[in-house]
A = this chain, B = another copy of it.
Amino acid sequence: MKILVTGGLGYIGSHTCVELIKAGHEPIAFDNLSNSQRSVLERVQRISGQPLTFIEGDIRDGAALDAVFSAHDIGAVIHFAGLKAVGESVSQPLRYYDNNVTGSLVLFDAMTRHDVKSLVFSSSATVYGDPVSVPIREDFALSATNPYGRSKLIIEDMLRDLIKADPDWRIALLRYFNPVGAHESGLIGEEPNGIPNNLLPYIAQVAEGRRDFLSVYGGDYPTPDGTGMRDYIHVVDLAIGHVKTLSKLATGSGVVTYNLGTGRGNSVLEMVRAFEQASGKQVPYQIVARRPGDIAACFADASLAESELGWKAERDVAQMCADAWRWQSLPK
């Protein structure tokens, strides 16, 4: 089946293209290259040993989408395209809402015009806001604490409204926890612009010597070692979750919602040690004040995806770090 993958050359998008090809699908990567590299195309093809169709375009461009849907017999869409930096979303909310919300609406309108009504949407655990407890189940209350998170929640809400109006849609909302790692080939991975917003790319740059030390925000949380705990999931596991979700969509109807996480929390210091182990490098750190808005621990109840999709994360923290390091240290 031909699958339109918006943001298909991005971090999660590119790994998903690899797994789609492996599973016998034909992904069509659509990407505006705003936060991805054209070179990823050739790398995905090298990993897969197969061509990947790439179309440069922006999801806010309905005519560009019409051209794609007219030229290709698309069976489903996996929608990754969107801006994703929390801090940036606070300082540039209109840009985030325009890219993420308006972009999604233009995409859903184009899908409607071309009668393509199967969609996997790239949501985020951020839609749980400050969860009342952990592990987090899919039926927990939803809220947003910043424009990035709000953009994800708004799109989820719109899709729930959409399916009430038109039950022909088949929609999966996938709520990612903390995607990390890279393809084991070392050819594709996360390539943050500027200072990394996420822990593992930052640790990797410290290990590499590009940054002096890691600031650990808060050492007095009620966790075993006092640092915050998160549910890190290997990007390849996440990508495989999308392929499993596509199979599920083909058999079902309505909206399904799954947490994609490991179901385990790892502390910042555990990740530091695992990365030191994997890289053989030192990762100096300093404990500094907590960041406002951060919570002590956040991890998924991932049992619904396991029971309904037959999927669970299989790559452990050692492999996440080893793959991240291989990607980081191989010449680009």
A→B interface (CB under 8 Å): 90-94, 97-98, 101-102, 105-106, 108-109, 112, 144, 146-147, 150, 154, 157-158, 161-162, 164-165
Q: Give the distance in Å from the alpha carbon of A162 to the alpha carbon of B92 in the complex.
A: 8
Please, which residues of chain B bring their CB within 8 A of the CB of A97? 105, 158, 161
What is the chain B residue whose CB lies nearest that of A60? B102
Are the C-beta atoms of A105 and B94 separated by less than 8 Å? yes
Q: Give the docked Cα–Cα distance between A302 and B112 (Å).
A: 43
Closest residue of chain B to A150 (Cβ to Cβ) is B157
Distance (Å) between the CB of A6 and the closest chain B CB?
A: 17
Q: Is the CB of B91 within 8 A of A165?
A: yes
Contact of A98 among B105, B147, B165 (CB under 8 A): B105
Q: Is the CB of A109 within 8 A of B90?
A: no
30 A-B pairs whose Cβ atoms sit less than 8 Å apart in the complex: A90-B161, A90-B164, A90-B165, A91-B165, A92-B165, A93-B158, A93-B161, A93-B162, A93-B164, A93-B165, A94-B105, A94-B108, A94-B112, A94-B158, A94-B162, A97-B105, A97-B158, A97-B161, A98-B105, A101-B102, A101-B105, A102-B102, A102-B105, A102-B106, A144-B157, A146-B161, A147-B158, A147-B161, A150-B157, A150-B158
Chain B residues whose CB sits within 8 angstroms of the CB of A146 once the complex forms: 161
Q: Secondary structure at chain A's binding surface: helix, strand, loop or mixed? A: helix
Bound complex: CA A98 to CA B106 (Å):
8
Q: With a 10 A CB-CB cut-off, give which of A92, A97, A150 has the most chain B CB atoms.
A: A97
Query: Other than the known A90-B164, A97-B105, what 19 A-B pairs have Cβ atoms closer than 8 Å?
Result: A90-B161, A90-B165, A92-B165, A93-B158, A93-B161, A93-B162, A93-B165, A94-B108, A94-B109, A94-B162, A97-B158, A98-B109, A101-B101, A101-B102, A101-B105, A102-B102, A102-B106, A144-B157, A154-B154
Contacts of A165 in B (CB 8 A): 90-93
Residues of B within 8 A of A161 (CB): 90, 93, 97, 146-147, 150
- Copies of this chain, whole number: 2
Q: Write out the residue numbers on chain B whose beta carbons fall within 8 Å of the beta carbon of A112.
A: 94
Question: Nearest Cβ in chain B — how far from A148, in angstroms?
Answer: 10
A92 — which chain B residues lie within 8 A by C-beta?
Answer: 165
Cβ–Cβ < 8 Å partners of A102 in chain B = 101-102, 105-106
The smallest beta-carbon distance between A244 and chain B, in angstroms, is 28
Shortest A327–chain B CB gap in Å is: 33
CA distance A173 to B165 in the complex (A): 29
Of all chain B residues, the one with the shortest Cβ separation from A93 is: B161
CA distance A92 to B162 in the complex (A): 8
Residues in B whose Cβ lies below 8 Å from that of A144: 157
Shortest A143–chain B CB gap in Å is 11
Give Cα A245–Cα B101 distance, bound, in whole angstroms.
29
- Inside 8 A of A109's CB, which chain B residues have their CB? 94, 98
* A160 shortest CB reach to chain B, Å: 9
Q: Give Cα A92 to B146, complex, Å.
A: 28
Q: How far is the CB of A174 from chain B (nearest CB, A)?
A: 21
Q: Which residues of B contact A93 (CB under 8 A)?
A: 158, 161-162, 164-165
Instruction: Name A89's closest neighbour in chain B (CB-CB).
Output: B161
